[in-house]
Amino acid sequence: MLLTGTVSARIRYFTILAIALGALGSSSAFSPSPAALLKPFNALSRGIHNRLPRFASLRMSTPEEVLKAQKPTWQQTMLRIKDPKKSLAFYQDLMGMTLVDKIEFPEFKFDLYFLTTLPKGESYPHQPGTDAAHKYLWTMPGVTLELTHNYGTESDDTKYHPGNEDKDGFGHVAFNTDDVYAAAKKLEDAGCSFKKKPDEGRMKGIAFVYDPDGYWVELVPRATESGIENEFNFSQTMLRVKDPSKTIPYYEKLGLTLVRENHFDSFSLFFMAFFPLGEEA
């Protein structure tokens, strides 16, 4: 998938959800109770409480109006990982992401790691796992990559299903970069293996590298004059869908905008993005 057009320099705002119709044809993790998942929200409880009267006073006639009033934004893409040391090294050291928060659930034997692409030169002031980091995570305007680690998988025979087999919905995550060829060479020199190198296959100029768990990570050429100085920026999550006439309106209600569509002989691609209030495609 090739994303073109000028991308806002505020890269955290412009991460794409790519949905594919008719394109190439897991282990389950423990699901904690809703009460357990509220653990990191303690740092926000006062601010949320102060906002309740405003929402309580709303008199909306449709669910869509109620949802719109909450100003939904796309917040995360989650991947289950086997070994956080290996996965963090890949996404932080190689792909340039920043770990903004870590939420631990020792009672349920799993941890959550949240990473994002910060603009080049911007330092992150918070220690992951603190109330300040929790507050940043749940109020930041950008999109995160959430890595879920279930205790013990780093030393057992666990292997998560990365998608991309017949009838699988999940496809890949993607990063934009100025030079896909140079980026692929860097990752190859670092010991990464590839599903597809830039000059392989029918679609030249893009690549798919495997992350430590075998998930496909696409390298996509960045548009010229994008204003993004990072070597990489987290840019897409790809899902395969059955009926775009149902899927696209669903995500539009959640605040995403259809910014591009490509149609081929056997499949179509639809790109959706979240824009800050007041900005348009």
What is the set of active-site residues? 218
Please measure the distance between the N-terminal and C-terminal CA atoms of the chain and give it in whole angstroms: 18
Q: Tell me if 139 sits within 8 A of 71, measured CB to CB.
A: no
Cα 113 from Cα 100, distance rounded (Å): 8
If you search the block for the tokens 């980091």, which residue do you land on?
133
Q: Tell me if 237 sits within 8 A of 17, measured CB to CB.
A: yes
Task: Report the largest interatomic distance among the alpha carbons of the chain, rounded to a whole angstrom.
Answer: 59
If you search the block for the tokens 């190439």, which residue do you land on?
24
Q: Secondary structure of 123-145 in the HEC alphabet?
A: CCCCCCCCHHHHHHHHHCCCCEE
Say how many CA atoms lie within 13 Å of 280 toward its Cβ.
0
Residue 40 is given by DSSP the state G
Amino acid, res. 11: I
Cα 42 from Cα 226, distance rounded (Å): 38
Can you name the residues that pair with 209 across neighbouring β-strands? Answer: 194, 217
